[in-house]
Amino acid sequence: MEIAILTLFPAMFEGPFESSIIKRACDRRLLSIKIVDFREFSEDRHHKVDDYPFGGGPGMVLKPEPLFRCLESLSQEPGASPEGARRVVLLSPQGETFTQAKAGELAKEQRLVIICGHYEGIDERVRRLATDEISIGDYVLTGGETAAIVMVDCVARLVDGVVEPGSLQQESFSAGMLEYPQYTRPRQFREWSVPEILLNGNHQAIERWRRDQAVRRTFLRRPDLLGEGPFSEDDRRAVDALFEQGD
């Protein structure tokens, strides 16, 4: 997968993509990340990329010309996909909320372009470049750079070969549930013990316990997720047991 990030602050990406899983994926050529400073595509002698908003108001607005030229330049590079054969994401607090399902959808793409906004806003015409407009949450950041790091980290894990498939199947949000509790050595730590069921070697019972725990945890912490995945009679009994404990 090839990812191009269009930004005014390329230095913000020097650390996050140079370690751990993402670096290994790049080393194995499963992933390619290109950071593009779209200030270089300004034809203003001072490389100006923003201006005052028409109609007045606070702050500065990103101009359309540098971003249009930048994206057109990417289309002309050797081996670049033809126009329309790539996914272009504009990061914006006005976009649809980023989810694990959306990450899985983007991970199937061969080429992904992410546009990082900044300042007070972005010229409305830049939205014509985007196939998707995405927000990582209901809050406002100083720019799209940190949101781009979050998005790339999430999407990269789902690219084929980057993470062992079994590790992805039971993660939180992967099946409409939060993940079950995890334990490792020591068996006894201070006053807390590992649940006995995890030590008896009965894998069928362990899987049932894990599922029950996932259902209960999701019901208590994120009940809004329960409608997104399959829900069995055993799952309903696990929820009913919570009400019985409350009695």
When pLDDT is averaged across residues 103-127 and rounded to a whole number, the result is 94
Greater confidence, 240 or 110?
110
pLDDT tens digits, 212-236: 999 999 999 999 888 766 778 888 8
pLDDT tens digits, 125-136: 999 999 999 999
Domain spans of the chain? 2-165, 170-246
Task: Name the pTM for this structure.
Answer: 0.87
In CATH, what is the architecture of 170-246?
A: Orthogonal Bundle (1.10)
Checking if the pLDDT of 72 tops 90, the result is yes
Burial 178-199 (b: 16+ CB within 10 A, else e): bbbeeeeeeeeeeeeeeeeebe
Per-chain mean pLDDT for the chain: 91
Backbone angles phi, psi at 50, to 5 degrees: -135, 165
Instruction: Write down the pLDDT at residue 228.
Output: 64
The CATH fold assigned to 2-165 is Alpha/beta knot (3.40.1280)
Task: Name 134's bridge partners.
Answer: 96
